[in-house]
Amino acid sequence: MSEATAPPLRADADGSVPAAVHAPTDHLDLPFFQPQHLEMAGELATWTPLQQVDESDDRAACRAWVRRLGDAGWLRYCVPAAFGGALPQLDSRALVIAREQLAFHSPLADFAFAMQGLGSGAITLAGTPRQCADYLPAVARGEKIAAFALSEADAGSDVSAMTTIASTVDLTMDKGQKGSKFVLKGSKTWISNGGLADFYCVFAKTEPGAGSRGISAFIVDRDTSGLDDSAHIAVMSPHPLASLVFDGCELPSGALLGPPGGGFKLAMQTLDIFRASVAGAALGMARRALFEARLHARQRKMFGQTLADFQLTQARIGEMAALIDAAALLTYRAAWLRDRSMAGEPGAGGKTADAASARQRSVAAAMAKMTATENAQRVIDMALQMHGGLGVKVGTKVESLYRGIRSLRIYEGATEVQQLIIGKAVLQE
């Protein structure tokens, strides 16, 4: 993999590197990508280092990033062209590139971008024309912040265990016409952008006895009566999280997102699109750790030479580079496979072929997510160790990366879940 394209920078006195560092892009010159992907990467690599945002308050910073990403047009990659997006449909390779570039600079910038896509993804996939028009253009402009509300205290990986209920209430409307509404009761937790979002895509049971087939999806605006999203959750790295309580929230029939009982499938489809992009974020953080490690090793004087002159250091740097490359190839393959399928796979036909293709995409995304996040954790740990005492000093880049990478091994499907997906598929071959 190539080094960062910007000229080498000198470290600050405390060992940290100035923020204006360009992420590498040369490694993207692969058959997986098209010219427009490479052009996008180059433009984003130039734009991102110029955005200096105070991240001491993660919620204020997230709002600032959403505004900047929206004003610059980057959030247009989170929605389809019909509703203000940059491309005809969501493009996994573009999402991976964006998250890799942003995470190299700021994991919180990556988070702000990703949640606009994930939070509105269910609307993109299943929304009515009216729902799409009401929400997606505002998401693309950064005017509305989106959130995806699936997890509960006892229903994370086991989605069917959720207890939030959406009951149907029949109504008599004007002129004797019949209608209905939904009443939402329950709670969600670990919700990214919780307390910050302008709307939530919420998953709840409409048929409690039907397991995962009884789950439906709804759009819930933040100002809905009975919604309390004030319970913020503090975590080890800046990340706006909150628990949500729905105390008899009344939703019109038009809030239903997709068909009744189609919520579980919709949630999985949404997560499937963005799973490979999580790997992209991990790659960005790992590449930044390698950049920091190289710079520190070249400048740190020890025993009459630099840290980089020691063979042990060279071996570690080599291992870090190989771990990143291995994860990158799996990540780019996963994104390419999904994009190819959306464009129509050559030779695919019939339900058997479609099922096999879907399984291939799911396994590829699981491999990418698992490998990239686990490898990034190893790379960042090695970079921190190489920095010695500076590595654990609050405020240095490798220290923040060490905290930031940890959650990626858990959210949107923990590593263990990805292992199960892969293992079951291999056994079925």
**Would strands 256-257 and 241-252 be described as parallel, antiparallel, or unpaired?**
unpaired
Residue 335 three-state SS: helix
Task: Say whether 251 sits in a helix, a strand or coil.
Answer: strand
The SS3 assignment for 385 reads: helix
- From CA 190, how far away is CA 147, in angstroms rounded? 11
Contacts of 184 (CB under 8 A, 6+ apart): 164, 165, 166, 202, 204, 218, 220, 226, 246, 248, 249, 250, 251
* Known active-site residue 412: yes
54: number of Cβ within 10 Å: 8
Distance CA 212, CA 208 (A): 9
Q: In which element (H, E) is residue 291 found?
A: helix 263-299
DSSP state of 2: P
Strand partners, 251: 182
DSSP letter (8 states) at residue 390? G
> What amino acid is encoded at 92 in this protein?
S
Asked whether 44 and 100 are in contact (CB, 8 A), the reply is no
Backbone angles phi, psi at 393, to 5 degrees: -80, 125
Q: How far apart are CA 1 and CA 37, in angstroms?
A: 18
Give which of 77, 19, 108, 96 is closest to 407, Cα–Cα.
Answer: 108
Contact yes or no for 98/44 (Cβ under 8 A): yes
User: Within a 10 A sphere around the Cβ of 346, how many other Cβ atoms?
Assistant: 6
Q: Are 112 and 125 in contact (CB under 8 A)?
A: no
**Six-digit token string for 61:** 């910073």
Partners of residue 87 on adjacent β-strands: 80
Task: Using alpha carbons, select from 376, 245, 263, 370 the residue that is nearest to residue 320.
Answer: 376
Please name the helix (run of DSSP H) or strand (run of DSSP E) that holds residue 289, with its range, or none: helix 263-299
Of residues 100, 374, 399, 412, which has the active-site annotation?
412
Q: List, by residue number, the catalytic residues.
A: 412
